[in-house]
Amino acid sequence: MEIPKHFMTKGSKDYFLIQDPFGLREAIQPVVSISTVEDKITGLGTCFQISPWGWMTAHHVVLHKDGNSFPPNEVGCVGFSPGLMYGAVGFVTTDYFGEIAERRVYLPTEQPNPLGIPGPKPPSIILDVAVLRVVTSNLKKAPLRSPLPLAKTPVKVGDEVLGIGYPILGSTYRGADQPMLFEERMYGAAGVVKEILPTGTDSTHPWPTFRIEGDWRSGMSGGPVINLQGEVCGIISRSFEPTDTDPGVGFAVHIPAVNKIPALTTSLLAPEVDPVNPGNTFCLGIIKNGNLVGTTMSPQEAELMKAKAQADNIVPITFNAKTEEWITT
């Protein structure tokens, strides 16, 4: 969808600029497409960190019309704090943008609709959720490990929630003798849950959903919906902006409800996420003198890390990247 660059609204209690005093940028980042043939960066939506190695977004954010992740001559990336929100930045894109190396989604040809909703053909998206693996080795600054915990308790009608994303996102070409102008701003939009839709809104959107009354703007798609406990209870899927007569309406993938359906659970897309301990990740821990000195998901990398650290052992653990607490599994 097209991402607008400016808004008439300057800010309100329901839709506001996030200046990021709490470090949300480390866990919530923009998804962009970078052209390989011209100086152009196109904003696509928002993603958020669910593990030190995984980012979650909406499937439609990384779905091109031909079923591929991105069009020819474009590279999908996650942005990592370019540093200048506005101005002529002229940066090397690999300094601040990590290429999306893998996209995990449910495909209609591989995953039948477990909800059994009738229709002339399967929907193009079974579940509006995607998990991304991102190459971060070339970044100027290594991203912090600050995954957001996924909620286990479903939302209820009347609950207050906060959607977060990047409605202002993209580049502007200013002429051959001028560096590219890249703009990004993170916004939050508060809302109230108005309806729970266990089987979705229709046959083309058949996943568990909740509807909110709030001002979720284009470009926030894929961003997290956070409950009052600070957990991700939903993913922004689609929305209708407010008018002079009607309030805004937003639809979110209902994460706790999805995870109660064995064929749709997000753990199949992100098996490293610990479903029992929100914020924790299953991984391999490198142990030296009883202390954790490294973590990874790759057995091969674990062996290399063990040798480099002259560590004692490699054990499976559940690990909280924020608190650095861990236990063996």
Which residues sit opposite 240 in a β-bridge? 249
For 53, list phi and psi in degrees, rounded to 5.
-120, 0
Within 10 Å of residue 293's Cβ, how many Cβ atoms?
Answer: 16
Residue 167 banded pLDDT, cuts 50, 70, 90: confident
- Structure-token pair, residue 205: 């959107």
> Helix, strand, or coil here: 62?
helix
Cβ-contact 200, 237 below 8 angstroms: no
Sign of the alpha-carbon dihedral angle for 314, 320, 324, 326? negative
pLDDT at 25 over 90: no
So what's the pLDDT on residue 116? 60
Mean pLDDT of 20-40: 77
Better pLDDT: 37 or 13: 37
> pLDDT tens across 209-258, in order?
999 998 898 889 999 999 999 999 999 999 988 888 888 899 999 999 99
> pLDDT tens across 80-98, in order?
865 443 334 444 566 788 8
Cα–Cα distances in angstroms (integers) from residue 139 to residues 34, 77, 142, in the given order = 15, 12, 6
> Helix, strand, or coil here: 59?
helix
pLDDT at 329 over 90: no
Task: Determine the Cα–Cα distance for residues 264 and 206; give it in Å rounded to an integer.
Answer: 11
> Helix, strand, or coil here: 13?
coil
So what's the pLDDT on residue 8? 30
Q: Which domains does the chain have, with CATH numbers?
A: 15-268 (2.40.10.120), 280-328 (no CATH)
Mean pLDDT of 278-303: 91
pLDDT at 114 over 80: no
Local structure of residue 266 (DSSP, 8 states) = G
Give the strand pairing for 28-35 and 41-51.
antiparallel
For 308, list phi and psi in degrees, rounded to 5.
-65, -40
pLDDT at 284 over 90: yes
For 228, list phi and psi in degrees, rounded to 5.
-70, -10
Side chain identity, residue 189: A
CA atoms in the 13 A half-sphere facing the CB of 329: 15
